[in-house]
Each structure stands twice: as structure tokens, then as C-alpha cells.
Structure 1
């Protein structure tokens, strides 16, 4: 059986090298495929019959099997697409395929697949789909808590539904009022001329008295707030000093005003009075003529139950001076300094973009400068990922050998990145040279064995 065994071994070598060549060609073909995992080739020997020790045995045949490289990460490159992502470390994106389109809407297959190809983009229905046609899955996030909802990922869909408006409830206010305001009326020496003009009187400022009011008050800044349906309201604040500390019962006292936005009779609302001690810290707040309430102590501020500006009304708006953010320290310019008005609330907004952040959350951005995390992207890991079944599109399916997917771990998701193929052309060409030489050598053995058989047959003749 020596010559026939040699032919058999050489033929098995030809078949094994052909398998290696097939893997090499596939790796080279997919050297630019996003998230592709190359297949290497492993050769194993089959021992032919013979004696009980190696001296009585011969080499036998060989066979080739494919070896997965799922754990070998490809290079990661930066891209300019907000929804592209890569995985640094272990894990796979959880995806599925479309099964049909019913009444213009896509339906999905029950099968779940796993991929490292993160070139996802938003389609016309709001789904995130990669170039191989796989749809990304994730956990929906609760809009109030930001926590994931449920244990099973769903196909991610970010629809074009507008973000509803949110009414302003609090304006965090910070400012320092000067000890002597540099009003138009102030003559530069007599501090009483810097006080509110007596012609204005107490309470709300009438339209007829607006000029005197402006000449005897200073600006306190402005901002935009929103009412319950998202209508914008421009809030303009002014302050007028109404009393100087006389060293006795009277403290430095200011009145806060808000513009009515063009009311026919009232030009400025009297929000309330603020007293300061000798150190420039607030002591007492008193609600003014416009209505509302004053909060003294922790969380100092004014709450206005019904604020109407330019015909638009907002309810329960608090101007907060918490943590002593309103002070009266001497200022040579005589103007309100360090002024900051930071309101909450926003108008309704249209969806303008979708991105992925560093924690693997899908973020929806709206035209009102608001952002909302809408999905958490899980990563699937396996006990034996080398036993995953390869499917089209650089994806895999779970098998009994790989075990079920674990969605609680994995590596880190990198936004605006892509993982390239882990097949290197230079390495594959090196393998190709060795494979070609081995194939030629095996074919030479077949030729030599055939010549030896001819010689044996010629001996018989």
C-alpha cells in the first residue's frame, strides 16, 4: 500500500490546501468589509494503520478545517457619521432582518443575529440599518428616569414626532446690585437722587410714569421663558432702589419689576421688595403689587402665579435667588453685575439629528436645543463565540455550541468609529505563497507516485 498510500496522502494534501486557498481568497475579498472576521485554516493529520509504535507507522493523510478569528479585533478608524459606531473589546451588536413590508411599514423576522459591522444609518422610517441590511436593536429608555424598559431589546426606531413643549417653572436668577445705582437721575453726589422717582409712586408702574421710572431704575437683564403651549415670552427685569439704610429700622431696599410687554395702562409690574443688610446679603423679601408670593430663607425668591407679557400668560413662574445669588455689594459702575437668568422650559422642537454617545445610548436632537436619550444599545457576548454560525453580511447566529447571548456585558461602544476587517492583505499573500508551494509539492508527489507505478508495471511485463 506504500505507493497507493502516498497517492492518497498527496490527494488529501491537495484537498486541504484547496480549502486553505478558499479561505485565503475569501479573506482577501473581504479585506475592506466592515466588521469582517477572517477565517484561518487549521491542518490535522489522520494516522494510517500500522504497528503499535511509531517506528512501524507512516505519516498518513491530512484534512483542513476553518478556524474562527472572532476574538481578533480589527483596526478602528474615525468617521464623520454620527450613527456609526465600533466596539472596543468583546461583544456584538444585536440585529435582525426585515421580513416584509405591510401597508408601507417594515415588519421584522423572529431571528436574532449578531455583528461587529457598526455602519448604521437612519432610514426613512427612522430605523438604524447597516449596509448589509441588518436593523439595530436596543432597550427603550424611560423618558423620565432614563432607565431601560424591559429585558428584551427591540428594533430601534426614532420617529419624526416633535418633542412637546415644556413650560418654564423656575428662573434661576443671579445678580449683584450696586449700593448706589447709576440712574439717569443720579447727580453723582446726593444718593437720594438715585432712588426711585417719587412721581412713579408705589406698586405697578403706569404707562404715563414709564419715563420717570426708566430714568430712576437700572436694568436687571432679560431672558425668554415659555408658557404651557411653548409660546415664547420675553422677560425684561429692572430694579429701582426705594430706600437707603438710615442706621436704624430702615435697610437698603430695592423693588424688582418686570415689563408688561406693551400693556395699555401698566408698563411695569411690581414683583416685590428686597432688603439687604450692611454686608450686602438679602434679609427680607416682600411680594409686590402684581400678586404672587415671596419665599424667605432657603430657596429665596418670588413666585408669580399669573405672569402676562404681551398678551401671553404663564402660570406659577418662580424667580429663584437660592444660595444668596442676589446681593448688594458696592460697584463703582453703579450697574447690576454678574447678571445671569437661567430659565427651565423650552418650546416644541422638530427632530434634527440622531447620534450615539460614549455610553452606547442613541440620542435624539431637536430644533429647540434639547437632546433626549431614547435607546440603550446592548452588546452580546458568548461563552464560545468561535462556535457562532457565520451568515451573510459579516454577521453571526447563535448555536448550541456558542451558547445563548449575554446582554449584560461586553466592551465599550465608540461613537463615530468603525471597526475594519481583521484580514490583512500582506498576511494573506504570505499564506498564499506557502499554500501554493504546498499544493505544488503535493501534486509533484502524485506525479512521482504515478511514475513509480508505471515502473512497477513495466517490471511485470
Structure 2
């Protein structure tokens, strides 16, 4: 059986090397395929049962050896919906068995590293292999989850409605000695407001009328400005000023009307006639929050506003310039439409809106497996779970997601060429074994002639 065994072994060698060449060919063909994982070939010897002294080297079988855990190079793209994973894990994708207009998704998800996703006409994120990205979709206006966490993401083309300003956060420092335009170091009390010079006393009434605007501007310092929004999204700019009424005692005004009549209210105190006070150490002693009822600016009704100074956000310390240094924010905004999409490192898909707001649109599902190389290969650079790979476990788990990037194939062309040369030589050597065994058999046949 020696010669016949050699023939059989050589045939197995030809088959194994052919299989290896097939894998090499596939790797080279997919060297530019996004998210492709090359397939290496492992060889296993097959030994017949025989005594130790008669053990033969045996024939050979070829098996695929996956390289799913070997990451390809990340390449930056110009498409914000492209995604790449750094570390373990796979995008969860669904296969559409219907049409793009009426998709019917297979209930069994697949897994891929191919992240060249883009939006289709229905707002789904679809990669180049026509696989639909799975995750959780959110309503950008309310933040509520829409749909299932195991269904394809569908980016909502939803606008964000206007939100009325309800709270203004105000922090900063007021100078111990303010320096308004009328301040003079040689004039004691010129750092304060002087009610005697007003047609209507702003301290006792909490208002500045049109006839007193020039005087008021000369005896107060700027307190910053903030854009506020009414219930229908109309924007108005609220100007604020500080007037010192006495030591450690201030009044804050906002401009209610920029074009008032002589007797009309131009500036309105945010706290009526109640001053805002500080102790000798410059810490605020008055209320943390002030309520402005029915705030109106230049005829636009903003509504009720809570002015929040924070726990220690407003102080009174010496300042060489004698000016306030405010930081002001508010919680309202205008109507906005979707202007752009970005992907964060934690897998959240964020929407940017024309009103300057950002909102979470979706959360991408990322799956992990105990044995990545035991996944079953599918077309489209996708995989399916097997009993050997174990069930998917979802979550980022240290994996970092990069937006506007894709993972390239992990195929190394030069390495594949080297393997191809070795495979070709091994294949040729097996053919020589076959021709030699054939010649030896011919010699045996010639003996009996």
C-alpha cells in the first residue's frame, strides 16, 4: 500500500493546497473591502492507525482559520454617518428581505465590522453590503425611546419645537466700588444711584421711566445681555444693568422697552423694590432665586422667568475696573430642523439642529462574543452567531467608536503574495510525488511483461 498511500496522500496535499490558494485568492480579492477579515488556512495531518515502528507521516486536511480579532487600519472619511470600532465588538445589522421602499427585516440579526453606513430615503443607516444598522432610536424632541432596541435604527426627520425660556442662570462678580460713567473718585457716593436726580425714584418704585434713562445709564454698570425666547420661539435680547443703592446693596434691572415714552417704563427691576444684598465678605445674603412674572421685552412677552444666582454664583469683591463680570445662560431656544449628524465614541448618534441644539437620535448596538473566530461567515462581511461562538453580549465594554471613519480590510497584500508562492511550490511538489508514484507503479507493471 506504500505507493498507493503516497498517491492518496499526494491527492490530499493537492486538495489542501488548492483550498489554501482559494483562501489566498479571496483575501487578495477583498483587500479593499471595508471591514473584511482575511481567512488564513491551517493544515491538519491525518495519521492512519498503525504500530509505532510503522507510523506513517499521513495525509493532510485544510481548514479555515478566521482573523476576526485582528483589527484593520482605520481610515477617515468625509461622511459623518460612517463608523469604525476600535477594540472588540461588532455592529449589529439586519438583512432586508423586502425592498428599500417597503423593507422586511430578517428576525435573526447578523454582526459585522463594516461601518460604511449612510442614510437611505427612509432614514435607515445602511452599509455598502445593504445591511441595516440595529440600535435604539430616540425622539429628539422628547428624548423618549421609539421602537425596539433590536430593530434597525431609523433617524427621525423631526424638528425640535421652540421652547420658552423659563430659567436664567446668572453668575459673576459685582465690584465693591462700581465705576459707572458718572463715577469720580473725588465725588463720594458717585458709585451709587442717586434717587434725588430722577423724575421717578427707581429705588422705591423698581422702575426707570423714559425721562430718566440717560441719568440711569450714567449711574449704573452693564450687567450683560442674554437672548430669551417666547413660547412661539420669538427671540428677544434682554439687556441687564446693576445699580448700587447702598453699601453691599444692589438693584438689578432689565430693559423692558428700548423706545419708551417720557413716562413709560424703560427699565424694570428684577426683584421689584427688594434689593440684592451681600455681607462684609462679599457673599450674597439675599434669595438665591428671583421670580420675574410676565417678563416682557420690547412688546414680546417672554413669560415667567426664574432668575437663578446659584449657591455661590454671585459675589461682591473688589475689581480694579469697577465693572461686573457676568456669565449668563438660559434654557429656551427657537424652532430648529436637523442640520447634521455625528457619532460619539460611546456609540450615540447625535443630531445638530439649526437652532444650535443637539439631541440624541440613536444608540448603536455593539455585540461581543466569547469566541470571535467561531462565528459563521456570511456574505457582505457579516457573521452569524454559532453555538461555539456563544451568544452575543451587548454594550461598548471598552470599545471606542469613531465617526466619519471606516475599518479597512486586514489583508496584507505582500503577506498574501508570500503565502501564494509557498502554496504554489507545495502544490507543484505534490504533483511531482504523484508523477513519481505513477512511474514506480509503471515499473511494477513492466516486471510482468
Per-residue deviation, residues 56-77 of structure 1 (Å, max 9, x unmatched): 3434432222222222333334
1:86–1:418 CA contact under 8 A, matched in 2: yes
1:180–1:191 CA contact under 8 A, matched in 2: no
- Report 1:249-260 matches (<5 A): 252-260=248-256
- Report 1:44-123 matches (<5 A): 44-48=44-48, 52-101=50-99, 104-123=101-120
Measure how far apart 1:270 and its partner are.
2.6
- Report 1:405-424 matches (<5 A): 405-408=392-395, 410-416=397-403, 417-424=405-412
Does 1:453 pair with 2:449? no
Q: 1:161 aligns with which of 158, 162, 165?
A: 158
Query: In 2, distance between residues paired with 1:307 and 1:23?
Result: 73
Does 1:209 pair with 2:212? yes
Q: 2:390 aligns with which of 365, 387, 403?
A: 403
Q: Paired residue for 2:224?
A: 221
- Report 1:39-438 matches (<5 A): 39-48=39-48, 52-101=50-99, 104-140=101-137, 152-193=149-190, 194-196=192-194, 197-202=197-202, 203=205, 204-242=207-245, 244-245=246-247, 252-261=248-257, 262-263=259-260, 265-272=264-271, 273-284=275-286, 296=287, 300-334=288-322, 336-408=323-395, 410-416=397-403, 417-438=405-426
Q: Paired residue for 1:10?
A: 10
Distance change (3 Å), C-alpha of 1:449 and 1:275: closer
* TM-score relative to the length of structure 1: 0.86
1:20–1:64 CA contact under 8 A, matched in 2: yes
Instruction: Please identify, of 315-324 and 174-183, the stretch whose mean Cα deviation from structure 2 is larger.
Output: 174-183
Q: Tell me, what secondary structure is at the counterpart of 2:377?
A: strand
Query: In 2, distance between residues paired with 1:432 and 1:330?
Result: 79
Q: Tell me, what secondary structure is at the counterpart of 2:394?
A: coil
Measure how far apart 1:332 and its partner are.
4.2
Query: In 2, distance between residues paired with 1:133 and 1:82?
Result: 18
1:89–1:412 CA contact under 8 A, matched in 2: yes
1:380–1:410 CA contact under 8 A, matched in 2: no
Measure how far apart 1:161 and its partner are.
1.0
Query: In 1, distance between residues paired with 2:281 and 2:149?
Result: 60
1:9–1:61 CA contact under 8 A, matched in 2: yes
1:307–1:317 CA contact under 8 A, matched in 2: yes
Distance change (3 Å), C-alpha of 1:105 and 1:220: farther
Query: In 1, distance between residues paired with 2:146 and 2:120?
Result: 24
Query: In 1, distance between residues paired with 2:309 and 2:373?
Result: 62
Distance change (3 Å), C-alpha of 1:58 and 1:328: closer
Measure how far apart 1:449 and its partner are.
2.0
Give 5+ residue unaligned stretches, structure 1. Answer: 246-251, 285-295
Q: Tell me, what secondary structure is at the counterpart of 1:36?
A: coil
Distance change (3 Å), C-alpha of 1:59 and 1:260: same
Distance change (3 Å), C-alpha of 1:82 and 1:129: same
Query: In 2, distance between residues paired with 1:145 and 1:114?
Result: 30
Query: In 1, distance between residues paired with 2:24 and 2:439?
Result: 32
Q: Tell me, what secondary structure is at the counterpart of 2:41?
A: strand
Distance change (3 Å), C-alpha of 1:322 and 1:42: closer
Query: In 1, distance between residues paired with 2:8 and 2:424?
Result: 19
Per-residue deviation, residues 301-324 of structure 1 (Å, max 9, x unmatched): 321120011221122211222234
Per-residue deviation, residues 384-403 of structure 1 (Å, max 9, x unmatched): 33332211111112234433
* TM-score relative to the length of structure 2: 0.88
Q: Tell me, what secondary structure is at the counterpart of 1:427?
A: helix
Per-residue deviation, residues 188-220 of structure 1 (Å, max 9, x unmatched): 422344523333423222223322322332221
Query: In 2, distance between residues paired with 1:277 and 1:317?
Result: 26
